[in-house]
Chain A
């Protein structure tokens, strides 16, 4: 088994993990010959969700939840660091969608708009938490404090990555989470974070470079390992 070049306890096992997103992780956004049928379906679904939510149909909200709820909750959890705050943020997002659906003009997709609301809600929650910490004279900073989760396949890998992510800038962390964890395309991330696609790609590149620097073992120990 070849070394991964990263000081991670999972490097001996990582090769056995299937690359489920191989086709997307490395750029697969350049479609040739027009949109794929799945994209057409997604557009139709998106329009249906927007129309249902605009009509105040609770079943449509339930559908939105069934499609995106778990991903929204996971994203909020990774942004905020604990499940309680994450669930509050997701609930608040649904309420904000309900309140402001009339103002949705379809300039981006409905789902992108919803995620933008979620991310802004998480930012607000993070700021509010920071203010409370300042009041309590706790200067532990803006970085989310991560609470333990249910053990995954590689708990030590996840913890190492979470710690490394905490050292990134907010934008780098957000883009990494949206692209690598949640599987959004750069075009979608651009819409959510209100940046350009190029900026999203560049931010991801910088984030991964920084993560490598943090997770890479010192050269001497790496050499010893070999």
Chain B
């Protein structure tokens, strides 16, 4: 049985009409000039849209796409090969992966440290005022022995210097007090910065001066 359509149905049929409803609207349009006009204008848009179709072939277009696809396929293969090197990784437990990564970092750190220490062309430490630990130990040991020797010498001269019999001995006494004071200052500084060779040299010079002064005190006693 043929459906019936009215002017009121037109818009709805334009939007979402069934084939039966379209047929009914066509039938209605035969007797309704308004709907006939509307239907014709509506369909004319579809006809006009055909003008925007241009399916002419471009002979160079497919070769261009084909080349791009082939290049992409090669890249894809290369990427897959690179990935296959690491394909075993997913089967390894995460804890092992972490351990391997940690070990790798450790090896890398040790290697870098070793290379740094043993690098043949590494520039020398030009700042010789900073003593290395082994040298420092030797210096401190020698200094301790030297100080002990000077202390023994000072012990011998103590009676004359505490009660100086001559102005010369009194001068020596004052000089030794100053030298002891300088020694105390330098030792304090060297304690703060034991690797500073400059301080060590100054300290040695003062000790030598003290040694020489004590020797002169001994000489003066003999006279």
Nearest Cβ on chain B to A201's Cβ, whole angstroms: 5
- Whether the Cβ atoms of B44 and A98 lie closer than 8 Å is no
Residue A54 CB within 8 A of the other chain: no
Shortest distance from the beta carbon of A225 to any chain B beta carbon, whole Å: 13
Say whether B68 contacts A95, CB under 8 Å.
yes
B19 contacts the other chain (CB 8 A):
yes
**Is A211 close to B, CB under 8 A?**
yes
User: Interface with A: B58-66, B81-89, B184-192, B200-208, which one?
Assistant: B58-66
Shortest distance from the beta carbon of B73 to any chain A beta carbon, whole Å? 6
Q: Quote the shortest CB–CB distance from B141 to chain A (angstroms).
A: 74
CB-based contact B44/A27 at 8 Å: no
**Contact present for B46 and A180 (CB under 8 Å):** yes
> Total interface residues on B, using CB and 8 Å?
40
**A6/B61 contact (C-beta < 8 A), A27-B22, A98-B73, A208-B14 known:** no
Q: Is A48 an interface residue (CB 8 A)?
A: no
Option from A8, A99, A149, A202 in Cβ contact (under 8 Å) with B48:
A8
Tell me if B49 and A181 are in contact (CB < 8 A). yes
Number of interface residues of A (CB under 8 A): 63
Judge whether A78 is part of the interface by a CB distance below 8 angstroms.
Answer: yes
Interface members, chain B 35-91 (any A CB < 8 Å): 36-38, 40-58, 61-62, 64-66, 68-70, 72-73, 76
Residues of B within 8 A of A177 (CB): 49, 52
**What is the minimal beta-carbon distance from A49 to any residue of chain B, in angstroms?**
14
- The reply on A43 being an interface residue by CB < 8 A is no
A5/B40 in contact, CB under 8 A? yes
A70-B56, A95-B69, A182-B53 provided; 8 other pairs, C-beta below 8 A?
Answer: A3-B37, A19-B46, A25-B43, A26-B22, A30-B19, A58-B66, A73-B58, A177-B52
Could you jot down 16 A-B contacts, CB within 8 Å?
A3-B37, A5-B40, A8-B44, A8-B48, A14-B44, A27-B16, A30-B19, A58-B73, A62-B62, A70-B56, A73-B61, A150-B54, A152-B51, A153-B51, A180-B45, A215-B45
